[in-house]
Amino acid sequence: MTTSTALSLHQLADELITAAKAASAGRSARSVFGGSGKTLRQTVLALAADHGLDDHESPGEATLLVLRGRVRLDAPSGAVEGAAGDYLPIPEERHSLAALEDSAVLLTVVAK
By three-state DSSP, how is residue 95 classified? strand
Task: Give start and end residues of each alpha helix (H) in the chain.
Answer: 9-22
pTM of the predicted protein model: 0.89
Task: Return per-residue pLDDT of the chain as tens, 112 residues.
Answer: 344 578 999 999 999 999 999 999 999 999 999 877 888 999 999 999 999 988 877 777 899 999 999 999 999 999 999 999 999 999 888 999 999 999 999 999 997 7
Supply the pLDDT for residue 62. Answer: 92
Does domain 3-111 fall under CATH 3.70.10.10? My reply is: no
Residue extents of the structural domains in the chain = 3-111
Please state, in angstroms and as integers, the Cα–Cα distance from residue 55 to each residue in 1, 85, 96, 98, following that order.
36, 24, 4, 10
